[in-house]
Amino acid sequence: MPLEMPEDEMKKRFLHIAKEVEEPSTGETATVRVKVHSSGYPPNVLDFLARCDNDKQAMEIIDYLEKRGELSKAEAGALRLRIEKHGVRSVAKKRAPGHYFREFSD
């Protein structure tokens, strides 16, 4: 089933694809399939921690989520303690760019 959305929303969500579609054709034909498999999926703290590069970034993420009320004081404290003792990779395995495309591709 094709995904239909207004052009302005497509440009907002898929800027690079929209630019490619708008560029003059070079004679090549390309097919682009966009699967919005996880549309509406709210990432959790582990999703964010899996993308950070070091312990400092992890602590900043925890602080931010705690301030927003997305983590309780107890949850934030437990994560900080574990990261201080064992590092962020003990909490969440590193996810490289393109992880979700590989994970949710057909």
pLDDT digits (tens, 9 = 90+) for 51-103: 999 999 999 999 999 999 999 999 999 999 999 999 999 998 988 776 666 66
Q: How confident is the model at residue 1 (pLDDT cuts 50, 70, 90)?
A: very low
Q: Can you give the pLDDT at residue 23?
A: 63
Burial per residue of 9-36, b for 16 or more beta-carbon CB atoms within 10 angstroms, e otherwise:
ebeeebeeeeeeeeeeeeeeeeeeeeee
Kindly report the pTM of this predicted structure.
Answer: 0.57
Q: Can you give the pLDDT at residue 65?
A: 94
- Note the pLDDT tens digit of each residue in 14-59: 676 666 666 655 555 444 454 444 555 678 899 899 999 999 999 9
Residues in the chain: 106
